[in-house]
Amino acid sequence: MTLFLSASVGHRGANQHKDVLAVQDAINQVPLDEGGSPVPLKLDGKCGPKTIKAIQRFQLHHFGWGGCDGLIEVGKQTYLKLVLYTLPALKLPPPPARRIEPKSLKFIIMRENANDSFGAKNRDHYFEIRSVPHNFSSVYFLGRQQGMHPHPIPNRFNGHFSIFKTKRAITTKEFECQAVYFTREKAGNTSDSHLTLILESGTIQIPMDAHLIGPHGIISGGHPGTSTFRSGIFDFVK
């Protein structure tokens, strides 16, 4: 029980019965190596030589001879130190369970940029991969070197999306690999694009709705078979 005193206890103290009883009980809760009494005090509410000696032993341990007067006064250092041994133990909430990302065979990929075509801007090469049906996602950047991510890293993706399947179950954080984004012109001034991920389990080809801009403009000039591509490292960002 937490120590509460209405008046002083100890040498030349007020020594009211309930206060002395509370001090005796508090000192009995102090470990011996922290200034506690070698022999537990009798809980009788009487401030005799044994109780005063126990108070002095506690004071000597914590404050030295200068603070060893055998008296506990409300709000003073001996009381403030002794009350710590009577506070109820804090019941901390259990640590949150670690969220383990599940493996999946089916995923959604989305570009950061919603435009139908793109070129050399950094934002064009950010992708989000989200597992289906789990609510887990990871951000990737298709760049020339691993770990070279331009800033700021987007936290919202609004581009076209595509659903694809892997050859074995993996998490969204296991797509770090070599990759190629490829656009080819087709007959009728239309284009076809896909992102190829070269995973350890095999190559995954993902159809994409946005098309690369080639060296001479967007790939759509009436020349079927013309193509452009961007290759690099598909690197996990977060």
Q: What residues in the chain have per-residue pLDDT under 50?
A: 216-217, 220
Tokens of 140: 């990737």
DSSP H or E run through 26: helix 17-27
In this prediction, residue 217 carries a pLDDT of 47
C-alpha distance across the termini of the chain, in Å: 49
DSSP H or E run through 57: helix 49-63
Helices 49-63/17-27 angle, 10° precision: 50
**How far is it, in rounded angstroms, from Cα 1 to Cα 54?**
19
Tokens of 48: 């005799």
pLDDT in tens, 137-165: 999 999 888 888 887 888 888 888 899 99
Distant-in-sequence, close-in-space partners of 65: CB < 8 Å, separation ≥ 6: none
In this prediction, residue 148 carries a pLDDT of 84
**How far is it, in rounded angstroms, from Cα 15 to Cα 7?**
7
In this prediction, residue 221 carries a pLDDT of 52
**How far is it, in rounded angstroms, from Cα 54 to Cα 69?**
11
**How far is it, in rounded angstroms, from Cα 21 to Cα 41?**
10
Contact 132, 105 (CB under 8 A): no
